[in-house]
Structure 1
């Protein structure tokens, strides 16, 4: 089955920004773009009301994706665009739509005047319940620079790409996650900034006086570990300029800091098939809520 770049659209500014980001990604990958509009049925008594009748519902459910597709075809010539309408709970419907997608793209609201996302239940559900990469895009954040938008807030398709940022766990490096980040940087003809945060082991951190020499040794070991993980990937992607950094402190804080200069942040989510259900790690969860750039969550084993 031909995979697509799939975007969830509900007509909001956030979902429109996600659709624009998805269209540009589709062009980078040479894939078609599928716009999915999920209609959540209203209770029968409300559906019979004059303003919520069958004709009104049909009008809006058809108009939103149709007009979005028309605009994307004009702004992104050469991208094949088609639409799909489904009914049900949006989180479940979008997770199902992601099964045939190369990646799923969703909009997420910005937190007022401060950086970061307000990731709703639909977005978190889709991230947690799909085995495909999910990208969350803020309105006005699909472009590297907000001033490079039209009056409606639609990012320019010609906006230059800033670096791609990868949050790396050197203790459990995953090939799927690393390859996604390198591939994203290569397609964008930009650099890759690999960020690793480290903390001393508990037996060093507690009950031990400050020791500059020990701190320096631990920092050097962490930097060497980053370099070792990246060595084969530098050879596999020789055209990608890689900057690897290892810093003391919270990995989430360092990745969020790096997001201010990024066009895309890539983090992982470990797939856990257990009775307790899906899980989003604390670092990924923090990055989702505080990154100022679009975030790709890549599930891996």
Structure 2
């Protein structure tokens, strides 16, 4: 699944973009890739609270420069490449995503106040996630390194605490090897468990009612048969990837109901949620709902 040569983060100077860039730096370290920082549009000077001793008087660092310096101190072994383009944000980030392993963006930029619980609808982040050729990671402002870890004791060293589970939402009606592969790779580089959630609903044209006993029995039997079939289909779809990643613990959930409800439940307490978007199509209703309401970083993977 890995075809890119960098992890790329979009930088605009906002708190959300800086937290997203720090998340991207950790992901680059996990995947042994360099980190590329991209700033689009007219550079904004960032005035430091204390003077930069190596910056001439009267000058100020750009948001891109300051982010690169801060990240180099926090991640001294990481190769960091900083790039600026005057192109508008969305096309610039889409171009950067096309040649990256993943593009990481913040939940919102300079357009508003404190970030909501999820992501700002209509934002650059949402527009990029809806059209990129490669996976896009959406990270909320305030996301911290310890949020990825399942801390249970104050005595444990941060680097020794296990990662929280990775959750994958999977629609079995679409070919999804790219999506499944990305989820297994992501869990493997973290040595984290993978939880795969497939939800289904009854056909809308089923007009049988509980008032008809025979129809009720048949309907319950049909539902059980459909659920059993979906469990078998899910196990079949995951079997090659289980064989490829034998050290990754995997749990499978087949549940009845709206996918957004079950994905939000499953992602509570998880370190990362991965969802798919059919290549060439926009984000569906369930995906948009999940993106707006989820409280952990979410990855949108184009596939099919």
Q: Is the 8 A contact 1:144 1:262 kept in 2?
A: no
Following superposition, the deviation at residue 251 of structure 1 comes to 1.1
Match of 2:75? 76
Question: What does residue range 79-228 of structure 1 map to in structure 2 within 5 Å?
Answer: 79-109=78-108, 115-143=117-145, 145=147, 160-204=162-206, 206-209=207-210, 210-211=216-217, 212-228=220-236
Quote the residue 1:39 is aligned against. Answer: 41
Indicate yes or no: 2:266 matched with 1:264.
no
Structure 2: gaps (5+ residues): 45-57, 151-157, 211-215
- TM-align CA RMSD: 2.8
Residues 146, 167 of structure 1: CA spacing in aligned structure 2 closer, same or farther, 3 A cutoff? closer
Question: Following TM superposition, where does structure 1 have runs of at least 4 consecutive aligned residues deviating by more than 4 angstroms?
Answer: 109-114, 156-160
The answer to whether residue 293 in structure 2 is matched with residue 294 in structure 1 is no
Cα deviations across residues 67-107 of structure 1 (Å, max 9, x unaligned)?
A: 21111112122110121111132111111122221111000
- CA shift digits 1:193-212 (9 cap, x unpaired): 000111112343x3343444
Give the Cα separation in 1 of the matches to 2:232 and 2:43.
55
Question: 1:23-45 CA distances to partner (integer Å, 9 max, x unpaired)?
Answer: 00100111111111112489xxx
1:150-169 deviations in Å (ceiling 9; x for gaps): xxxxxx88774211110011
The Cα of 1:171 is off from its aligned counterpart by 1.9
Change (3 A) 1:140 1:290: same
In structure 1, runs of 5+ residues without a counterpart are 43-57, 149-155, 273-277
- 1:144-194 deviations in Å (ceiling 9; x for gaps): 53999xxxxxxx887742111100111224100000000000000000000
Match of 2:6 in 1: 4
| C-alpha spacing 1:20/1:119, structure 2 compared with 1 (3 Å) | farther
TM-score normalized with structure 2 length: 0.81
Distance 1:159 1:13, change over 3 A: farther
Q: Report the TM-score when normalising by structure 1.
A: 0.81
CA distance in 2, matches of 1:246, 1:140: 32
Aligned pairs for 1:15-34 within 5 A: 15-34=17-36
Q: Tell me if the contact between 2:97 and 2:132 (Cα under 8 Å) persists in the aligned partners.
A: yes
